[in-house]
Amino acid sequence: MGERWQAVDDYIAGKLLGADDALATTLANNNAQGLPPIDVSAAQGKMLFLLAQMAGAKRILEVGTLGGYSTIWLARALPRDGELVTLELEAHHARVARANLENAGVSARVDIRVGPAADTLAAMTGDAAFDFVFIDADKQGNVRYVEEAIRLGRSGTTIIVDNVVREGGVLDADSDDERIAGTRALFDMLNADPRLDATAIQTVGAKGWDGFVLARVR
């Protein structure tokens, strides 16, 4: 089944996305630099691009840069005077991402901040609100990251949280996997928090069986 999921993703990319030298170079550079191949798929990247445009985003927050693949998609959705702040724990990943963003021609719109995301977010005060937030980092921190996204956002801010199905692992209340426990805690938080309207969508494709949360700050 996984081969067929990949084939459908390839079909979608061929019909709707086309070749993209900057993104292909980004993935090749990530691989050469030893980064894990956990970027969003091309179709998911285009979805982020479209959702950010639909939201009219001028300020975007990303939690989890990796090599900048999703960052490039999001930066491309910004208007010329827009800004993207992206948070990355690993200094090596951030260095690779900076080179990729420069090659893609979007580095002027992107501010990469290195360090534990929870600490970086806590230190962010007084800036203009973010219109769009993409969270794709350690799953144990998802509740904290969404809380901070609400604080740093506004009424109408769009929040996307990736990897929330985990091949069905989200159903396992007794799992000792911290990523699953963190994801289940996120669903509990979304269920109880009156500040958000949210849903989640399962996905299959080149990245396997997973899904994402789509939420909006009330």
The predicted pLDDT at position 94 comes to: 98
* pLDDT for position 42: 96
Q: Taking a C-beta distance cutoff of 8 angstroms, is the pair 161, 146 a contact? A: yes
Residue 156: the pLDDT is 98
Where residue 103 sits, what CATH number does that domain have? 3.40.50.150
pLDDT for res 134: 98
Of 155, 154, 177, 150, which is closest to residue 166 (Cα–Cα)? 177
Using an 8 Å Cβ cutoff, are 103 and 25 in contact?
yes
**Please, which residues have CB within 8 angstroms of residue 90's CB and are 6 or more apart in sequence?**
114
State the total domains in the chain.
1
| Domain that residue 21 falls in | 2-217
* pLDDT for 2: 83
The series of mean pLDDT values per 10 residues for the chain, 218 residues long, is 91 95 98 97 97 98 98 98 98 98 98 98 94 98 98 98 97 97 98 98 95 98
Contact 141, 118 (CB under 8 A): yes
